[in-house]
Copies of this chain bind each other. A is one copy, B any other.
Amino acid sequence: MSNIKPAIPKGTRDFSPVELAKRNYLKAQLIAGFERYGFQPIETPSFERSETLLGKYGDEGDRLIFRILNSGDKVKNADLGALERGELGKFSNSISQKALRYDLTVPFARYVAQYQNDIQFPFRRYQMQTVWRADRPQHGRFQEFLQCDADVVGERSLWQEVEGVLLYDRVFSKLHLKGVQIHLNHRKILAGIAEFIGAESQLIDFTVALDKLSKIGEEGVIGALQSKGFSAEKIQRLRPFLSLKGDFSSQLLAVSEVLKDIEIAQEGIEELKFIYKQLSRQSLNAVSIAFDVRLARGLNYYTGLILEVMPPEGIKMGSIGGGGRYDELTDLFGLKNTSGFGISFGFDRIFLVLEELDLFPSTIDSKTQLIFLNFGDASASYCFDHLTKLRDFNMACEMYPKEAKLKKQLNYAHLRSIPYVVILGSEEMQKEIFVLKNMVSGEQREYPLAQMLEVLKGLNPSN
């Protein structure tokens, strides 16, 4: 076989031990949070039947779904006519029946519908798995990335919304990430505004445009609405909502007054009031909440509270999480009347925020606490016995695998950030001592050989 240049596809990543130490720390904090809040893990397959995924994310989504080529003879059914006619989707369908998951939401809805008779509702699940999108790779945007979702389905209760915000607060607290802002809004308030301005039939155009406010500004949104045929009068009635000021309660009150005759809006306002009241009883440590009537979130399956989590001020980055209440997600798979509320943590973005603010603990990098250097089989054999005993004692340690120059071996320990080194050569064996070197302080001490196990056990951080 000829040499192949070692490289990975664009938009994918290898993770080194140093990077994984941090990623695993963040994962562990999220899992601990989910489990304290009573969420249980599930996992779904990496690929689903194409029909499960296609058509759920809009045309743009369909294009971004990675399809798996049929194996072996099954590519023979290629629809060449479709290819000739330029119907690439149809052609792809003829040679592909499976696709990599695009998010965790649709597979979760499929899971709930499929196992509805085995699940105890309300079902509190978390899921932390990779998803794949055939997006054009660019800085900070990957074709493979981790999603971390927690949802509870099968009961409509505003306590779930309250819990969701608290869970964000507590996880960010554990990560020492302060100053996070959670923007709250309610789909029924948006529906009420649409009714108020006389644009009920254009609710989707309206929310999609509004969702871009932070990106394209007030005038950008107005331009977008104009291009969708919104009249000047409608836009005039909308203007006050685009520039509300004040704290949570006063903004909510202002909106409530304008929309006082719109029943659906009042329902949303009542719900937000309950959520706000309950959250005010709890002490939020890492996050503050804001009512943001302009928040729309693009995903059309939301029906109640919607929320978006913004990084602390001064960090140039989009949302680091989001979620909301939905009512019809499992309908797609034949399960009706199953309301749910879900939140999502943007793993990669939170990772970058923690990096930028230097919030990863310095202690997570090196697991290996100790290395025995190797000066030939006679002393190595002695060291190896101790190595095994220390490992049995739950200490992470190693022995350098071969006799080599002291400098080379110490350099390895240094580069691996291993804090303690044991030196036992033939000379030390004869004098019945060993040398323990602290790689951080540089300090080096001799101990009687007979005390080796005892001394080294004392170094175990989990001791």
Contacts and interface: CB of A to CB of B under 8 A. Distances in A.
Interface of A: 1, 3-9, 12-17, 20-21, 24, 32, 35-38, 40-49, 51-52, 55-56, 63-64, 66-69, 71-73, 75-76, 78, 80, 83, 88, 91-92, 95-98, 100, 110-111, 113-115, 118, 120, 122, 124-125, 130, 132, 134, 144, 152, 155-157, 159-160, 162, 166, 170, 278, 281-282, 331-334, 367-368, 371, 374, 380-381, 384-385, 388, 391-392, 394-402, 412, 415-416
A124 B6 contact: no
A152 to B, nearest CB: 7
A114 B395 contact: no
B68 A66 contact: yes
A interface majority secondary structure: mixed
A159 B35 contact: no
A36 B282 contact: no
Contacts of A401: 122, 152, 155, 157, 159-160
Contact of A44 (B8, B134, B394): B8
B111 A46 contact: no
A108 to B, nearest CB: 10
B83 A72 contact: no
A238 to B, nearest CB: 30
Contacts of A13: 45
B416 A120 contact: yes
26 contacts: A4-B52, A4-B332, A6-B114, A6-B333, A9-B45, A9-B48, A13-B45, A16-B42, A17-B40, A17-B42, A20-B41, A35-B368, A36-B394, A36-B395, A38-B397, A40-B368, A46-B130, A66-B69, A66-B71, A75-B91, A78-B83, A120-B415, A156-B402, A157-B401, A162-B384, A278-B384
A126 to B, nearest CB: 9
A68 B69 contact: yes
A414 to B, nearest CB: 9
Given A35-B396, A381-B278, A381-B281, A17 B3 contact: no
A15 B128 CA distance: 12
A388 B166 contact: yes
A12 B45 contact: yes
Contacts of A7: 49, 52, 114
A113 to B, nearest CB: 4
A385 B71 contact: no
A21 B9 CA distance: 34
Contacts of A36: 391, 394-397
Nearest to A121: B412
A6 to B, nearest CB: 4
A367 B76 contact: no
A55 B1 contact: yes
A48 B43 CA distance: 23
A234 B32 CA distance: 62
